[in-house]
């Protein structure tokens, strides 16, 4: 298991280094002058020269790369050209909101997707199976921003039972302020017993979490169904039935445990999609996370922020896949040999 983890960590390090090189080259190929963006379009020539030297843009490309690489390693990721604040501070301010949204969406997708997959595999080809497969295909196929708009029209416009945008209502900040414990507002409101803020935040997270969970839920449900159908033909299932074990015990414990490893592989891919899909969802629902910051950075050609968001997203993708590999190795020891 130790060798397995070392191989995965080493591979992740190589991927991050390769990505850092690609991102550096691409940001230097953008047809814009970062000094002009930082100093402003009306800055005088001497001011532009000072900012250019401050950003290190007057140095040869290879020196810029070593400076950039050293900053990535030491945690000095530069200042945002748009906000003039350190990029890591901007990300630290917005990351908790994005992580909470991702956690709720992936937890919902995993639990509901596995349950629907097991139910669909119980009687393949029947009406319930076809309905679940239809919903799964719809969740995978529908663009996140379009699904978000449809949910807003139905639950906000037609029914009026859920809030349309934001993470919390405006009055929460003044009437029921959240005491910071972990830095995650929804979790902190639960830990401190602030039930007004918790119920308000829970109502706000439902629609964006459902939108973000649609794609991974469809993938997980389809993979679980396929794995369960494959496991149902194995000898140990027939043996368990011959010994008179209850069908529910066979399906939900014996068969599901053996069907989970392929599903966990899909979970890693689904988590990577939700990490990038959250950008669209956050814009639609005005969610104060990394997605909104990324959209503003791209429009402003804020290359330090673009680099930081890209590297952070890649690191999150690699961590998610590493966790999935560990879980899969625990469920199926044969995975450690790969």
Could you give the domains of the chain?
A: 2-74 (no CATH), 93-337 (1.10.3720.10)
Q: How far apart are CA 312 and CA 75, in angstroms?
A: 12
Q: How far apart are CA 88 and CA 278, in angstroms?
A: 19
Query: What's the whole-number average pLDDT of the chain?
Result: 82
Q: How far apart are CA 295 and CA 280, in angstroms?
A: 9
**Does the pLDDT at position 205 exceed 70?**
yes
Q: How far apart are CA 152 and CA 236, in angstroms?
A: 47
Q: What integer pLDDT is reported at residue 333 of this predicted model?
A: 62
**How does residue 37 score in pLDDT terms, banded at 50, 70 and 90?**
low
pLDDT in tens, 104-162: 998 999 999 999 988 888 888 888 888 988 888 888 888 888 888 899 999 998 888 88
pTM for the predicted model, two decimal places: 0.79
**Does the pLDDT at position 336 exceed 60?**
no
pLDDT in tens, 69-120: 888 788 778 778 777 788 888 888 888 888 899 889 989 999 999 999 888 8
Helices 144-151, 195-231: inter-axial angle, 10-degree rounding: 130
**How does residue 332 score in pLDDT terms, banded at 50, 70 and 90?**
low
Extended beta strands in the chain, E state: none
Q: How far apart are CA 186 and CA 133, in angstroms?
A: 33
SS3 (DSSP) at 338:
coil
Range name among 35-49, 226-240, 315-329 with the lowest pLDDT average:
35-49
Per the structure block, which two tokens stand in for 80? 């945002």
| Number of neighbours of residue 75 by Cβ within 10 angstroms | 8
**How does residue 4 score in pLDDT terms, banded at 50, 70 and 90?**
confident
Q: How far apart are CA 194 and CA 87, in angstroms?
A: 31
Q: Which residues contact 212 (CB under 8 A, 6 or more apart)?
A: 101, 102, 105, 144, 274, 277, 278, 281
**How does residue 228 score in pLDDT terms, banded at 50, 70 and 90?**
confident
Percent of the chain whose predicted confidence (pLDDT) is above 70:
93
Q: What integer pLDDT is reported at residue 335 of this predicted model?
A: 54
CA distances from 188 to 113, 174, 191, 202 (A): 28, 16, 5, 12
Q: What integer pLDDT is reported at residue 202 of this predicted model?
A: 92
Beta-bridge mates of residue 86: 79
**CA distance between the termini of the chain:** 11
What does the pLDDT average to over 316-330? 75
What does the pLDDT average to over 11-23? 84
Q: What integer pLDDT is reported at residue 1 of this predicted model?
A: 67
Per the structure block, which two tokens stand in for 217? 């839920």
Using a 10 angstrom Cβ sphere, with 0-12 exposed, 13-18 middle and 19 or more buried, the burial of residue 333 is exposed
Per the structure block, which two tokens stand in for 267? 């979970």
């Amino acid at each position: 298991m130790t060798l397995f983890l070392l191989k995965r960590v080493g591979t992740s390090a190589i991927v991050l280094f390769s990505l850092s090189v690609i991102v550096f080259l691409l940001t230097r190929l953008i047809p814009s002058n970062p000094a002009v963006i930082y100093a402003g379009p009306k800055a005088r020539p001497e001011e532009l020269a000072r900012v250019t030297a401050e950003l290190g843009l007057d140095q040869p490309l290879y020196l810029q790369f070593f400076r950039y690489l050293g900053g990535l390693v030491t945690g000095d990721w530069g200042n945002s050209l748009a906000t003039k604040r350190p990029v890591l501070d901007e990300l630290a301010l917005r990351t908790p909101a994005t992580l909470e949204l991702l956690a709720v969406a992936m937890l919902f997708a995993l639990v509901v997707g596995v349950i629907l997959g097991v139910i669909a595999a119980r009687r393949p080809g029947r009406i319930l199976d076809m309905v679940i497969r239809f919903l799964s295909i719809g969740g995978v196929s529908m663009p996140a921003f379009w699904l978000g708009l449809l949910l807003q029209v139905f639950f906000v416009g037609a029914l009026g039972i859920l809030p349309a945008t934001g993470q919390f209502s405006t009055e929460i900040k003044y009437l029921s302020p959240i005491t910071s414990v972990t830095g995650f507002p929804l979790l902190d409101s639960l830990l401190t017993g602030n039930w007004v803020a918790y119920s308000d935040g829970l109502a706000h997270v439902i629609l964006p979490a459902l939108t973000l969970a649609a794609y991974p839920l469809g993938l997980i449900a389809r993979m679980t169904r396929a794995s369960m159908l494959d496991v149902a033909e194995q000898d140990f299932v027939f043996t368990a039935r011959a010994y008179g074990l209850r069908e529910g015990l066979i399906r939900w414990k014996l068969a599901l445990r053996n069907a989970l490893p392929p599903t966990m592989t899909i979970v890693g891919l689904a988590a990577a999609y939700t990490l990038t899909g959250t950008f669209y969802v956050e814009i639609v629902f005005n969610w104060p996370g990394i997605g909104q910051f990324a959209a503003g950075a791209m429009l402003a050609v804020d290359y330090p922020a673009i680099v930081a968001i890209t590297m952070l997203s890649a690191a999150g993708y690699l961590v998610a896949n590493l966790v999935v590999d560990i879980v899969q190795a625990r469920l199926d020891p044969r995975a450690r040999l790969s």
